[in-house]
Structure 1
């Protein structure tokens, strides 16, 4: 019918224009989302690198504390042995003098030092475990962000293929038109 055909063409033209503007808006939103996700992924990668540096520093500190503990073990044993040897003397040789007080003070000082080193080592180990837990959480988040970025990139490339496809200019949108001899159009 001659009256409906121009209205249909106008409607198809308006629909295509709306579709094109919606595609442009969707592409913009996808690009913006991909940009934001990439920035977030890069930020997490930077955070992971900083955590790795902190973990290495903490492991080095733990190693130093363990070495200090090992270094104080032998002097403590020597001082304890000397002190015990002095206290195991027979009655008339058992004297409480400045030498014995010095040995007792040395044993107490080394014991306090070792206790302090053990406490510092425990704190350092707790800090290391907290950093490792944080690193695992960042790794999980980083994996999710990377997956999200790759999916967004795939969606964007798929949309580019859709845009590059030629649109048919007929009303039937590329569908074959069958004419019947008995039906007039």
Structure 2
């Protein structure tokens, strides 16, 4: 900005000073304009924020429940009680009883089929396996009623319920009846 002047005349120095003064005046005016614009933008932002805060305060005042007391502890206790009750699994409804019975029947059929395969292997073999495999086949077949509890547990889990004695009894009785029916049938 301050460049050395080669001519040391008074008129040249005045002209140079006038140019620098005009340039400084322009820069000051530009800075003042920029400052005023920034202040105006900040004022607008503050006004908009104040409007948003007052709107949020109105919404907050309208939001509390009409029966709410000034004591937030009572409200929090109510929420805790509600959360505790919703987390507890309930009983399986009665409309799933046919599915539970099918689980028992399916478990008995699967165990009987596995037992039949093991019996067939025992018939083909001689020696110790011929004696041991039919016993193993009987044990596998008798586990059929209990095998139906696996899919029953999956049903209970999907419905967020407990597998209480009633559903267990339905599965085991259906599986036991199927197993007894299959064992009384004549083998081919």
Q: Does TM-score exceed 0.5, indicating one fold?
A: no
How does the TM-score come out when normalised to structure 1? 0.33
Q: Which has the larger radius of gyration?
A: 2
How does the TM-score come out when normalised to structure 2? 0.33
Larger RCO of the pair (alpha carbons < 8 Å, separation 6+) = 1
